[in-house]
Amino acid sequence: MYSNISHSDSVSRLVTTNLKKCYNGVWAVKNLNLELSAGEIFVLLGPNGAGKTTTLKLIAGLLHPTGGRIHVEGMDVQREPVKAKTVIGYVPDEPFIYNKLTGREFIHFVAGIYNVQRDQYEPRMDRLLARLDIGDWIDEYAESYSHGMKQKVIMCQLLVHDPHLILIDEPLVGLDPKSGKTVRELFFELRDDGKTLLICTHTLSFAKEIASRIGIISHGELKFTGTFTELTAIAGASDIESMYLKLSES
Amino acid sequence: MNHLPLILSSRWRIVATSITSMKLVQIISFVFVISCFLFGAYYLFVRVFGYLVTVEVIGYALMDRIIEMAFFIFFIMLVFSNVITSFSTFFNNRELDFLFALPVQPTSIYLNKLLESCTYASWATMVVALPLVIAYGVVTQAPVFYYPIAVLSICLYVVIPAALASMLIFGIFRFLPRLTSRDVIILSLTLICGLTFLYVKVNNPALLKIFETESERELLQFAANLTTIGGTYLPSTWLSNILQGCNVDMNQGVFYFLLLLFVTLSIGILAFFTAKVLYVQSWLLVGERSTQRRKRTSPLARAQTSATRALLAKDILLFVREPTQWVQLFVFVILIAVYIFSLRRTPVYFTFPLWRTIIAFANFAYISFIIATLGVRFIFPTMSLERAGIWLLGSSPFSFERLMTIKYFFNLLTAVIVIECLLLLSNLFIKTDQRLYVTMHFIALVIAASLVSINLGMGSKFPQFNEDNPSKIAAGSGGILAALMSITYVAVMITILATPAYYYLRGRYLNKSHNLFVLLVACALFIIVNTATILLPLRSGLWSFRQRDF
């Protein structure tokens, strides 16, 4: 496993140590060691079933690790889940909003869960709703939303509590090109603001454009980590697609 | 090509997989509890019918009237139940997007969904009806062929309301597509209530009359009316005549069986052709309806100041906006209201306080069963209704302990209000003794606490996050287990309370002494059982929830 990339001495926002997850004898994640700093966008690439979503869910506290530890800003996610989750924001690959709530109500609900006062998040939300071209449909029941509309609302609710560590699974699925561009810009702003983003995606061009570092995961193991330049050098490839195919199959 | 066998076989495989994926202990527990319930119900019916056959002159007639009335009430419930279930099964179902996109005949999809709807709407009726008819057969020493005919007749009987409900829903959605789902369900139920009311008013069936039996003349009239058929055109009447016919008059039994079979097939064929013409069109029209835009300010906007308020506001909003929830609640309320107001004649019939006290105790037991039923239907699905949104709660700093605590106390408050109101009204009508009145209200608080715990705990232990229909969640294996546990708990409570009640009656009306030891044992059992039923299900449910991967 290549993890010889040294990065800055900035504070470790996320540290996973020998993280493992086994489902009925099948290892979904094996000895995953990852360290992310503040102000970083880390993109996890890998084939279907490689363990990307499982990794994200383990860090978000939705799955119990079979072994290993996860620390977010020094807090153990297993031992202090409530404290750790106050600084984590998670977006699943399948966006879900309660059918009989409107998008706006769903955002209010999330704000309530995180105990965020209305005057703290509402101006920020209104700006984000406008940026993502979320129109009047925000006040219709979610049962009438398309996948992309749900994805936009989920993106908005993600930032309600101003998380430090942001976990996103397939951020661009269902989004129109303009919204996709807005989301990319948003990710850069969050990074510049000192946030840490851990993103799983299959969209290689997106990964190349936004990633500070890229991780290649295959069969539950983090095989390679590094910047795009470093990984293409390791793979001896000229483009991200060739790099990904060579490294994920090795 | 007929795809129905393929669809049904995949459905069967899903059911088989969900059973085989359960642990052996779970399967055995489930089978054991179901068996205990069926046997318990059978035993109860055998005791009741066994007593009635010993009553001279009117015993058999009373028994037959009970059967007929039971099936009449079941039929009304089945119609309501099928209307509510039909909406979600035939329309509000994501699987349909997949099925209708396939080169499959819509009628195959319809028949598959009809079977599903009928099963979900009728399982509770079958669980009560089967021990009832078997007990009837045993007590009346029915011939061997009675049993398979009885079971087959019940199966035919439950198909009729399912087919009728589907036709009603298709017709309404096809010709009134602008109506919302809420409007359609209200319209359907109003139609059914209206037709039922008209039937009762026009026919004035003896089945529903309450006879005075003070004088000999009135008693003889009552006995004569017991043999009157409740309603010639009702499937419930045909069914009860089939059961009687197997014992008494084979010609009658055969006639009504053929009648039931013919009507079921006719309605089934009519429903099939209605579906052939209307189902796809009505399904497409439902999908094209635009949703109503809500106001920008909502209770959730005001509730986000705390996680508890946000969670409660969300749950209440979702309940109010989901027609399958509040419509079923409305149906329950009507049935309970009919029962409560029927009690007002009790002091007329039972002037001796001893009888009124016995009735008050029986009423208390019945209300406890009502709360048990409501608990399974509305409290058990609570955790499952978080559905895929559980990722939000699981990844947030909102612990599952807190989630369960909030849901427990909210549901407890609701259950306490319901049970106390029912007891208050019913005891007012019965004119119950004051001391008993106060004691019952205190015990009701404890029973409510236990029933909420059982249903919330079991709902956490057996969640179904992939299902969005609360009726189906309650009808799943976990829901059935919770139902049986709740009913068993109430039965145990009534048994424990019967002893102090018995000694109270002896002391109050027969001037006999109390047995302090027995009373103390009953109190101790009451405390021990309720401590266990309040704490254990919640702890077990919370532990299961914490261990779960989401």
Give me the residue spans of the domains in chain A.
1-87+165-174+196-250, 94-162
Q: Grade residue A6 by pLDDT with cuts at 50, 70 and 90.
A: very low
Across A53-78, b (16+ Cβ under 10 Å) vs e yields: bbbbbbbbbbbebeebebbbbebebe
Model confidence, pTM: 0.78
Identity at A193, one-letter amino acid code: D
Q: Which residues of B touch A92 (CB under 8 A)?
A: 388, 391
pLDDT band at A2 (very low <50, low <70, confident <90, very high): very low
Whether A4 has a pLDDT exceeding 60, the answer reads no
The phi, psi pair for A50, rounded to 5°, reads -75, -25
Query: Residues near A180 by Cβ (< 8 Å), separated by ≥ 6?
Result: A172, A206
Residue B465 has phi, psi (to 5 degrees) of -75, -15
Average pLDDT for residues A198-209, to the nearest whole number?
A: 92
Q: Which among B308, B286, B312 is positioned nearest to B299, based on CA atoms?
A: B312
Task: Select from B317, B388, B394 the Cβ nearest to the Cβ of A61.
Answer: B394
What Rg value do the Cα atoms of chain A yield, rounded? Answer: 18
Q: Quick one: pLDDT band at residue A238, thresholds 50, 70, 90?
A: confident
Q: Among B392, B546, B550, pick the best mutation site for testing chain A contact (most A Cβ within 10 A).
A: B392
* Residues A43, A79 contacting (CB under 8 angstroms): no
A98:B309 CB<8 A: no
Nearest by Cα to B150 from B269, B210, B249, B240: B240
| Mean pLDDT in order along chain B per 10 residues (550 residues) | 77 80 76 82 90 82 84 85 84 82 87 90 86 92 91 93 91 80 75 74 58 61 58 83 86 91 95 92 77 61 76 89 78 80 71 78 89 92 86 88 93 94 89 84 94 96 85 84 91 89 79 81 93 95 88
Please give the helix or strand (H or E) that residue B340 lies within, else none: helix B323-342
Confidence grade of residue A1 (pLDDT, cut at 50, 70, 90): very low
- Of chain B residues 293-352, which have a CB less than 8 A from chain A? 293-296, 298, 300-301, 303-307, 309-311, 313-314, 317-318, 321-322
A114: nearest CB among B313, B318, B396:
B396
**Residue pairs between chains A and B whose CB atoms are closer than 8 Å:** 121
**How many whole angstroms separate alpha carbon B288 and alpha carbon B177?**
9
Query: Domain A1-87+165-174+196-250: which topology?
Result: Rossmann fold (3.40.50)
pLDDT in tens, A96-144: 888 888 999 999 999 988 988 888 888 888 888 888 888 888 988 888 8
Pick among B292, B304, B322, B469 to test the A interface (most A CBs inside 10 A): B304
- Tokens for B263? 């009507």
Q: What's the rounded Cα separation, in Å, for the pair A151 and A180?
A: 11
Residue B201 contacts A where some CB pair is shorter than 8 Å: no
Percent pLDDT > 70 in chain A is 96
pLDDT band at residue A30 under the 50/70/90 scheme? very high
* Chain B interface includes A116 (CB < 8 A): yes
Check whether A9 has a pLDDT greater than 50: no
Contact A83 B397 (CB under 8 A): yes
- The pLDDT value recorded for residue A137 is 87
Partner-chain contact A104 B298, CB within 8 Å? yes
Query: Looking at this protein, which amino acid is placed at residue B178?
Result: R
Say which of A92, A111, A117 has its CB closest to residue B391. Answer: A92
Q: How close B319 gets to chain A, by Cα (Å)?
A: 9
Taking a C-beta distance cutoff of 8 angstroms, is the pair B110, B275 a contact?
Answer: yes
